[in-house]
Structures are given as structure tokens and as C-alpha cells.
Amino acid sequence: MENWNALWESLKNFFLNEITANYVALILEFLLLAIVYFYIFKVLKGNKATKFIAVIVFFVIICGVTFAFARFDTCVLLLIIIMIALLIFTMFHSEIKRTLLDANSRHAKDALTVSGVQLIIDETIRAVQNMSKKDIGALIVLSNENLPEGIIQSGTVVNAAITSQMIEAVFYPKAPLHDGAMIIEGNKIYAAGCFLPVLQSENLPKEMGSRHRAALGITSVASVTAIVVSEETGIISIVKNGAIKKRYADASDLKNALSEYYWSDLTAEGKNI
């Protein structure tokens, strides 16, 4: 009860005394904060992070409550710290998303053997090169089970063994799932026909179509590797961390990318073989 009385007295003192005595300073501070919020909201909107506006509003309310018990300067400092933290989060939201998604990874590759991995790598390279020669478009994502569930639900769960015939069958132009992405998790083709977030950028070459944009989009928000085969040119690209790491990839490049994906979770004994 005493706390509520103290709060009421603090509010009365603010509205009856502080505002009257310092109304000019308060108006200037209000305008300053309004300008700061305007630009913060503009940055958030530009980075497609409008949900954080609600977070800011929430913290403003919390700071308003804090203001009733603390000095105004303390409250302003707290607001500035919160806004800086949110701006940093916005600037590095892709890296943070990748970290959060990786935290949910179940690492399905732990049970793989060295001989099994080598067979999978050979089958995948064979399929990718065959599709490249025939100008068959393809998008394969190497995942650690760290993709948002909505992406998996947008396609069809396959749970099939990884063979060159199966990969080529999925991307056959008349197949129902050929337009979407194939998700590989460990030793399985987990899903196919999945829709991925597309990178919106005007700086990409014209020959890079929707598959390249999708590969760049998904690797920007998740720690995955994407292999793209261009339908127009047959060119193979390897995409990681939101960038094309290798264009005109050959068998050696594919082997390196696949080996990095699989060998990283094998035992030390397996790595030395």
C-alpha cells in the first residue's frame, strides 16, 4: 500500500510541479525522442523487422513505470540503451536468426559412417552434374534440421534415401515437386518442393533467377549450404551465408562443399580415414 501511495505522490508531483516548472525542456525532450523513434521505426521497417516496434512500445511502457520511481535522466538513459540494443539486433538480425535456428538443430548426421557419407557425396555429385548437362534447374539445401518448420510444411516430406536417381526424379521438369527446393538432412532427402524466402536485391546479375534468390535468402537466415543448378545455363553455384561462394562449380567444388557439410559431424576417427 505504501508503494502505491508513493507512486501516486510521485505522479502528482510530476504533473503539478515538474511539468509546470520545466514544460519547455519536457517539450524539447519529447520532440527529440519522437524524432529518434521515427528513424528507429524507419530502420526497422526497412529491415523487415516491424515486429520489434511492438517490443519498443512495450519497453517504453516499462520505462514509463520506472520513471515514476526514478529520476528522468535515468529513464532517458535506459531508453537510449534499449534503442541501441534493438538497432544492433536489427543490423545483425540475420546472424542472430542463424544462431537461434542452429540452437534447435538435432544434428541428424551424427549416426553417419564414413563409407555411407562417401556414397552420398558421390551420388549427389553425379545427380547435380547430370542435371547441369541437361539444363535441368535444381535447388538443394543441406540442412542440420535447423530450418523453420514453415519451410518444411510448404513442401512435401519425402524421407527417401539419397541416390542420384531420386534427386534427378524430383527435379525432372514434369515432376510435381521440381519447382521447389529439396531439403537434405543427413542421409535422407527429408522434403522436396519447399518454398524458401527470396532475397530481394537489384544487384544480382540478370541470369540469376528465382532459385539463386531463394538460395541467397535461406542461407541469409539459416546456417545451411545451398547448391543451385541454373535452368537457363546449367551453371552450378554453391551458396552459403547469404553469398555465392562458388559459381561455375565443378565436381571438386561440390565435393568440398558436401564434405564440409558431412565430415564436420563425424567422429575424429572418421575424419582421419
Region 4-26: mean pLDDT is 62
Where would I find the beta strands (DSSP E) of 174-235?
Answer: 181-185, 188-194, 225-229
- In angstroms, rounded to a whole number, what is the distance separating the alpha carbons of residues 256 and 30? 57
Helix axes 210-221, 93-103, angle to 10 degrees: 70
Query: Is the pLDDT assigned to residue 33 strictly greater than 70?
Result: yes
Which superfamily, per CATH, for 107-271? Answer: DNA integrity scanning protein, DisA, N-terminal domain (3.40.1700.10)
pLDDT tens column, 171-205:
999 999 999 999 999 899 999 999 998 887 666 66
Nine-digit cell string for 113? 559412417
The percentage of residues in the chain with a pLDDT greater than 90, rounded to a whole number, is 38
Query: Is the pLDDT assigned to residue 221 strictly greater than 70?
Result: yes
The torsion angle over the Cα atoms of residues 148, 260, 173 and 181, rounded to 10 degrees, is 10
> CB–CB of 248/233 below 8 Å?
no
What is the predicted pLDDT for the residue at 197?
85
Query: Is the pLDDT assigned to residue 96 strictly greater than 70?
Result: no
Query: Is the pLDDT assigned to residue 88 strictly greater than 90?
Result: no
What is the predicted pLDDT for the residue at 28?
77
List CB contacts of 225: < 8 A, sequence separation 6 or more.
141, 142, 219, 238, 239, 240, 257, 260, 261
What is the predicted pLDDT for the residue at 109?
47
Residue spans of the domains in the chain: they are: 2-91, 107-271
DSSP 37-48: HHHHHHHHHHTT
Is the backbone of residue 62 left (phi > 0), alpha (psi -120 to 50) or beta?
alpha
SS3 258: helix
Top pLDDT among 235 and 57 is at 235
Top pLDDT among 118 and 41 is at 118
- In angstroms, rounded to a whole number, what is the distance separating the alpha carbons of residues 111 and 186? 9
